[in-house]
Amino acid sequence: MPDVVHALEVLPGGSAGPPATGFEVAYIAPDGPELRRPLADAWAVRFEAAAPVRAFASYRRQRNLPGRWWSATKGGHVGYESWLERDQVMLLDFDPAVVGIASQPFWLFWSAANGRPLSHAPDYFARHEDGTAVVIDCRPAERRRPRDWAKFEATEAACTEVGWGFRLLGAPDPVVVRNVRWLAGYRHPRHRVEPVASELLAVFAEPLPLMDGAAAGGESLAVLNGAVPSTLVARAVGGRLGAPARWFARLAGEGAVMAGAGSVLRPGDWVTFNGDEHQVVALAGTAVRLRSAGGAESVVLASYLMAAPDFVVTGAEPLPEMEPSGLLETLPEPTRAAAERWQRHVVEVDTGLLPGAEPGTPPREEYDPATRSLTERMQAKAAELGVSLRTVEGKRSRYVKQGLWGLVDQRATRRWEATGRADARLVAAVREGLDGETHLSTGTRSRLIRRVIKTVEATYADGAVPLPSERTLYKLIDALSTGRHTFGAAEARGLMLPRTLPDPVPPARHEIPPSYISRLATLLGLDIDGLWFQVTQPAYPGAGRRVVVPERLAALTGRSVHALAGAMPELRDPPPDWEMFRHQPQTGCHLCDARHPGGKVVRLLPHHAYICLRHGAWIGPPDIDHLAVDLAPFPEIVDAQRRHLLLLRRYGWAPTYDAVLTALMICAHIWYGDGRPLTDVFGVWNIWDDRVHHLIPLDPEKQDYIAYSASKLFAAVYPEAVTLAPLIASPYWRRLADGTGAEQARFFAEVGKRVTYPYNEPDRGGDAVAHWALADSWRPPSRPLTTYAPGRDRGTLPGLAANRLARQEKSAKWFSRSRRNQGRTLLFHGHLKPVLLRDREPRYVKWEGTIWHSGRTDDLMKEEVARRRKELQAGAAHVRYQRAEDRASSR
C-alpha cells in the first residue's frame, strides 16, 4: 500500500491557502516528508503510523494537561492534550478492535461557504482490525462552541467522503475510566504468569462469574490474587479474544472490579498514589494500609486509592514473587502449623471436603454444601472448634482475600509485612547483613547489596532464590532497616536529627523553603542537606527535584501546616497561581530581613512588589544581590508603589503586570533614544539622570560607580512608568491607541502629558510608544514567559546563573565608562523580556534585534503587523499553535 501512495502526485506541505474545491489533507508521512494533497487521494495513507502534525502545545495558564499515554496496542506512546483526550485514548487502547492509534494525524483544509479558509487537526485516527478507520475529536459537551461545530461537521463530511467513521467524544463514564485505568496497569507482558494464565484463559473462554471461574481454575483462591486481572486484561485486550473482552468490559462497566479490589491488590504490591510510591503492607476489608518509600504509613479506602488520578500499580519491578511455603518459613513453626490447620477447616467449610481428600469421599453431613447453607456450615465449624461464629467468618474472609497468609496470627506477621513478597531467604540474608551494620552510609548500602547477592548465590543453588533489581533491593533494605536507625534520609549522612527542632524561627513572608531550611540549619548547627532530605520527597517518583512535605516540616518545627503555608507559597494546597510571582526568587527589603536571623532570606515575590512600604526600601526586579537602597530622598518613587497597587486593584494582576512592564520598556526606550533635547534642562531625562546620580554615586576613592545595579535603573524610571501604565492597562486608551488618526493623536498627546515625549512624527525610528500603539495595543496583555518551579534537588539556595553575572558585570562596566547608556542597560535586563519577546518572530532571533524592533514603526513593520492581525482574525488554529511552539522553544 505505501508504494501506491508514493506513486500519487503530492504537493509539498505547508502551502498556504484553502483548496479550490473539496478537502485537502497535510500530514507527515511515515518516512518523514510533509505532504499536502487532496483528501480523495489520501484515503489509503496509513495515518495510524503518521507523526503528529503539530507539537503538543504547552503554554502558560493552559487548562489542559498534555502528555503521552503508553499504548499497549501500539507498543509506544500516543500524545494527548487534555485529561479527556488521555481517557479517550486509553479507552481506544482498551478496545480490542483497534489495531493502530495516531494522535493529530493530519491537517484538514477546506473553504467555508463564504470562501473563508478553514482548517482543523482532528485529535485521533484509529485503525480497526478489519481495516476500517475512525477519526476522533474529543471535546466536552459544554465546551463545544458554534465555531467548533462547523469544524466537526466538516470533518465528519470529509470522513464520510473517504469511508472513515467519525466520532465526537465527550467525557466518558468515570467508573469505566477508573476501572480501565486500573486495568491498564496490568497490560504489560510482565504480568503474564504461566501456567496460570493459560488455564484462566481456557476457563474464561465464555463469560462466567469471577469466583466461579476462579474456582473452576483450581487453586481457586491463589489464582485470584492478581493473576486474574493481569491475564485476562492482557488477553482480552492485547490478544483480542472476543468473549473475555466482553466479559471484562461488562465487569468494568458494572464497577465489579472496584468491589473486588481487596482480592486483587495484595500485600507487597507497589503502588503510585498522590505523587508518591507506597507499598501495600496490609489489607483489611476495604481499607488498605500503605507504607510510603519514605517509611510513612497511612490507611486509605481501596476505592479512594484507586480513584486517585495518578493511581497505578507499579508492578514493574515487584519484590520477587514467592511461593507461600517459602514465606511461611519465616514464621515460627507453631504459628505456621496453626495457619495450616485453619486452612483445612476453612476449605472444609467452603467445599465440604478436607484438602487432599480421596476422590469419591462423601462430605461430612454438617458440611455438605448440597444440603447446608454457608452460614450453617460455618456455625457447625464454630461448634466443632469451640470458637465463635465471628471467628470462623473472619478467618474465612481473610483466607479469601489473602490466602494462607490471611490465616496466620497477625502478631507473627508483623515482621513480615515490611518486606512484602520478598523471598524469605533473601530477607534473611539482608537481615544478617544489616545486623552487622549500625552506621550505614549510601556507600555501605550498595556494598551491603553486593554482599547479600554474594551470600545468596553462595548458599543456594543457581537461581533457586530469584534476585530482584537493584531498585527493589534498595527498597527491601529500606523496609528492613526502618526502626533500626540505619538509613533514614538524614541518617544516611551520618547525622541524627531531633524529632522536633528546639526553638525554630518562623519563616519570613513569601520565603522559599530552601532559604528557611538553610536558616534553621545555620541557627541550630545542623547539616542543611540532611534537614532538606528529611522534610522533602521527590516531586514525583524517580524525580531528582524534591518538594517539601508540609506535614514533615510542621512536625519538625512545631508550627502548623497552615501557618507555614501562609508564609511560604510553595507549601500552599492548592498551589498558588505561579504566574503571579516572579519566576526567580530574590532578596527583599534588607530592613525586613534584618528581623529574620540565620542568614540571607530569599523570597518569591509577586510581580508588583517594587518597594517595601514599611521601610521605604527598593526591592525591584530580581538582580544580583543588590545593596540596600534607601528611598528617603525620593518620596515620588515610594508613592509610585502606592499608585501601582491602586492599578492592581483596578485592573487585576495580569493587565497591571503587562502595563507596568510595557511602561518601563517605553521609559527605557525614551531614556536610550536620541530625542534628548539639549536645551530642555527640565525634561524627564534630567530627572532620571539626577536620580541615578544619587542611587549609584561615584565612589571618590575608587573613582568608580561600585554601587551599580541594573535594578536601581528601574527605580530611577519607576514613577514615570507607573504614571504611563494606566494608559496601557485601560481598555479605553488601548482602543484610542489602535484607532483612527485623530484618536491616536489624542493618545500620543496624553502620553506627552505624562512623560516628556519628544516625538512628534510617529514614523520616526526608535519610537517605542508608536510601536506599542501599532503592534501591541490591539492584542491581549503579555504574560510571564517563565514561571517559578517549586522545589530543588538540594537544600542549598539557588545560585546565580553565570550568564546573568556576566551581563551584570558588562553593564556595570558600560555604566562606568559612559553614563549615557542607562536606558539601553535597562532594556537588556531580563525583567522586560515578556513584553519584548511577546511576539517572537523567527527573524528576531537575536535579543538585540528584538530590542531594536520594539521601537520600530516603519512600513515593513506596518505590513508585518497587518499580516499578523489578519491571520489572527481568520482564527487559523495552526497559527496559534505555531506561536505556542515558538514560545516554548524560546524558553
Contacting residues toward Zn ion, per CB under 5 A: 589, 591-592, 612, 614-615
312-313 vs 270-273, strand pairing mode: antiparallel
How far is it, in rounded angstroms, from Cα 235 to Cα 198?
Answer: 10
- 195: preceding bond cis by omega (within 30 degrees): yes
Nearer to Zn ion, 315 or 598 (CB): 598
Closer to Zn ion at the Cβ: 508 or 647? 508
The DSSP code for 405 is G
Q: How far apart are CA 470 and CA 448, in angstroms?
A: 11
For residue 615, the minimal CB distance to Zn ion (Å) is: 3
Compute the distance between CA of residue 659 and CA of residue 730 in angstroms, rounded to an integer.
9
Output the CA torsion sign for 228, 231, 235, 236. positive
Residue 631 or 812: which CB sits closer to Zn ion? 631
Name residue, grid cell 511576539.
Answer: 839
Is 450 or 600 the residue whose CB approaches Zn ion more closely? 600
Least Å distance between CB 614 and Zn ion? 5
Helix or strand (DSSP H, E) at 425? helix 424-435
Closer to Zn ion by CB, 590 or 676: give it: 590
Three-class SS state of 38: strand
One-letter amino acid of 348:
E
In the bound complex, what is the minimum distance in angstroms from residue 617's beta carbon to Zn ion? 5
SS3 51: strand
Closer residue to Zn ion, CB minimum distance, 412 or 592: 592
CA distance 660 to 787: 18
CB of 579 to Zn ion, least distance (A): 25
Closest of 447, 444, 532 to residue 490, by C-alpha: 532
Q: Are 782 and 59 in contact (CB under 8 A)?
A: no
Instruction: For Zn ion, give the closer residue by CB, 202 or 594.
Output: 594
DSSP state, 190? G
Residue whose CB is less far from Zn ion, 102 or 508:
508
User: What span, in angstroms and rounded, lies between the C-alpha atoms of 151 and 145?
Assistant: 10
From CA 19, how far away is CA 111, in angstroms rounded? 7
Query: To 10 degrees, the CA torsion angle through 530, 532, 538, 543?
Result: -80
What is the rounded distance in angstroms from the CA atom of residue 721 to the CA atom of residue 251? 65
Q: How far is the CB of 628 from Zn ion (least distance, A)?
A: 10
Angstrom distance (rounded) from CA 471 to CA 73:
28
Residue among 445 and 615 whose Cβ is closer to Zn ion: 615
- Three-class HEC string of 818-877: CHHHHHHHHHCCHHHHHHHCCCCCCCCCCHHHHHHHCCCCCHHHHHHHHHHHHHHHHCCH
Neighbour-count burial of 146, counting CB atoms closer than 10 A to its CB (0-12 exposed, 13-18 middle, 19+ buried) = exposed
Shortest Å distance, C-beta 589 to Zn ion: 3
- In the complex, the smallest distance separating the C-beta of residue 468 from Zn ion, rounded to whole angstroms, is 56
* Separation between Cα atoms, residue 297 and residue 290, nearest integer Å: 6
Query: What residues have CB less than 8 Å from 573, skipping those under 6 apart?
Result: 550, 565
312 or 589: whose CB is closer to Zn ion?
589
Secondary element (H or E) of residue 167: strand 165-169
- Shortest Cβ 641–Zn ion spacing (Å): 12
Q: Where are the alpha helices (DSSP H) in 363-423?
A: 374-385, 389-402, 410-417
Between residues 479 and 589, which has the closer beta carbon with respect to Zn ion? 589
**Whose Cβ is closer to Zn ion: residue 614's or residue 843's?**
614
Distance CA 608, CA 603 (A): 14
Closest approach, Cβ 301 to Zn ion, in A, equals 48
Q: How far is the CB of 616 from Zn ion (least distance, A)?
A: 8
Q: Which is nearer to Zn ion, 5 or 612 (CB)?
A: 612
- CB-based contact 600:516 (threshold 8 Å): no
CB 667 within 8 A of CB 720: yes
Given the complex with Zn ion, which of 235 and 615 has the nearer CB atom? 615
Shortest Å, Cβ 609 to Zn ion: 11
The residue among 638 and 667 lying less far from Zn ion, judged by its C-beta, is 638
Neighbouring CB atoms inside 10 A of 774's CB total 22
If the CB atoms of residues 170 and 597 are measured against Zn ion, the closer one turns out to be 597
Report the nearest approach of Zn ion to the CB of residue 509 (Å): 10
**Minimum Å distance from CB 619 to Zn ion?**
8
Closest contact distance (angstroms) between CB of 512 and Zn ion is 18
Strands 287-292 and 297-301: antiparallel
Helices and strands (H and E) in the chain: how many: 38, 22
Pairing of the two strands 24-28 and 11-12 = unpaired
> Minimum Å distance from CB 594 to Zn ion?
9
Q: Smallest distance from the beta carbon of 786 to Zn ion, in angstroms?
A: 27
Nearest to 229 by CA among 272, 270, 182: 182
